[in-house]
Amino acid sequence: MQQQVHVEVIDTLNRKLLIEVPADQIDAKFQTRLNELAKTAKMDGFRPGKVPVSLLKTRFGNAIREEIITDVLSKSFYQAIDDEKIALASMPTMTVKESQMGEPLKYEASFEVYPEIHLIDLTDQAVAQYQSIVDDQQLDLILERLRKQYATWHEVDRLTQTGDKVEIDCEGKVDGKIVEASKGKDMPIVLGSKVMIDGFESNLIGKNAHETLAFSLPFPADYFDKSLAGKTADYTVTINKILESQLPALDDAFAECMGVKEGGILQLRDTLRGNMERELKNALHHKNKQAVLDAFRSVNQVELPKSLVESEVTHLQEQSKQRLQQMLGKKDVPEMPKEMFMAEAEKRVALGLLMREFIKKQDVKPDSAKVKILIEDMAKAYDYPEKVIEWYYADKKRLESYEMAALEDEVVEKLRSAAKIELKSISYDDALKVER
């Protein structure tokens, strides 16, 4: 006798299965397991393998039956999913309703399913695509930034001004309680770098070394730590040192410092231009791909399984924690609130569902030639690109990320080919800005 399955539709994405597994299936498995145990069982007063089955049943029967039911629950559930052709999107929550010896096993399984998606492509949809170049002015700006990175600092005896580096002792309080993240000794800050909340650095300009300041500032309403967002912090800051930067000369010695052994400053400019053009190419590729996918998502509204969104939120939260640990150099870091990642998680899940459906409907496959190009472009950043390429092709698992990237590119190209493209010229800096 086959198991009985009844599908209950709770709402568009939630289902409940009412499953009844015949008693003879459970009892047969129970008897088989009991007989197997009897062959090797050891018990005081009996030789190994000679313990009466009835005694084993009395002592171990409940535990054996629990093991069997656990096994049957999983197998019968996934058999029902296959039989009913259900697109399962979450792990089930199971509730056993009846499991008495000699009676059918009855249980409920609640879960989410993938939404039905009726895709709309980008035919005649306006989609912005961006273009940019690396010009001499932009190259000069990058060189200037490099000079600032390699600046030397020396202590000065004057009032602080924008561009100075100060070393400070700092303590911030909210509602009378110390905010640990704001507490530090000899913290280095470059005035004007805007690494602190708005107004903090401006309060330190025009001050003397060894001066102690007290001021209050509000945290932004959208501050990443929701427990502080919108609240006012009371700061006590002591300026320990004031340092002024001295930029290195833009000459052949500087080029050598940057790793250019021959050709001097002209070769450094050529090398930087090549790096910038490679970065720009990658940035424009990402930006243009994202514009297409954003347009695709905007014309295809899809209901999202909560379990998938929650899983993605947890993933993003863990990524954020790891980045913060690396940045601060310690494991004990505050955990960002889940709400902070909800919008991004919903966006990712929606795109994932749409891409999954598009790939299935269009039967899109990764182009091996495109995979090769992606790996070769990546390998150019290394000293021995041929060895890097060989390393990736030596293991199929290493290729998977590039195969997925090539598959995404195939989808984007198919979507883009139907859209109405609007070309826009943007600056190098705007091209490299990460969209949030």
Per-residue pLDDT of the chain (436 residues; tens, 9 = 90+): 689 999 999 999 999 999 999 988 888 887 887 777 777 777 777 777 777 777 777 777 678 888 888 889 999 999 999 999 999 999 999 999 988 888 899 999 999 999 999 999 999 899 999 999 999 999 999 999 999 989 999 999 999 999 999 999 999 999 999 988 889 999 999 999 988 999 999 999 999 999 999 999 999 988 878 788 899 999 999 999 999 999 999 999 999 988 898 999 999 999 999 999 999 999 999 999 999 999 999 999 999 999 999 999 999 999 998 988 887 777 887 788 888 899 999 999 999 999 999 999 999 988 899 999 999 988 988 889 999 999 999 988 888 989 999 999 999 999 999 999 999 999 999 999 865 4
Tokens of 99: 């499991």
Question: Is the domain covering 4-112 a CATH 3.90.1580.10 domain?
Answer: no
Q: Which pair of tokens denotes residue 183?
A: 């507490």
Interstrand relation of 184-190 and 177-178 (parallel, antiparallel or unpaired)? unpaired
- The secondary structure of 215-264 as a DSSP string is EEEEPPTT-SSTTTTT-EEEEEEEEEEEEEEEPPPSSHHHHHHTT--SSH
Q: Which CATH number fits domain 278-432: 3.30.710.10, 1.10.150.130, 3.40.640.10, 1.10.3120.10?
A: 1.10.3120.10
DSSP string computed for 187-203: EEEETTS--SSTTTTGG
Q: How far apart are CA 185 and CA 188, in angstroms?
A: 9
Task: Tell me the domain boundaries of the chain.
Answer: 4-112, 152-246, 278-432
Q: How many CB atoms lie within 10 A of CB 415?
A: 23
**For the whole prediction, is pTM greater than 0.85?**
no
Q: How far apart are CA 87 and CA 375, in angstroms?
A: 34
- CA 45 – CA 38 distance, rounded (Å): 14
Token digits of residue 6: 């009844």
Measured CA to CA, the distance from residue 359 to residue 404 in angstroms comes to 11
Q: Are 215 and 203 in contact (CB under 8 A)?
A: yes
* Phi, psi of 108, deg, nearest 5: -115, 145
Taking the C-alpha atoms of residue 296 and residue 354, their distance in angstroms, rounded to an integer, is: 8
Residues 89 and 13: their CA atoms lie apart, in Å, by 9
152-246 in CATH: which number?
Answer: 3.10.50.40
Number of Cβ within 10 Å of residue 201's Cβ equals 19
Contact 392, 375 (CB under 8 A): yes
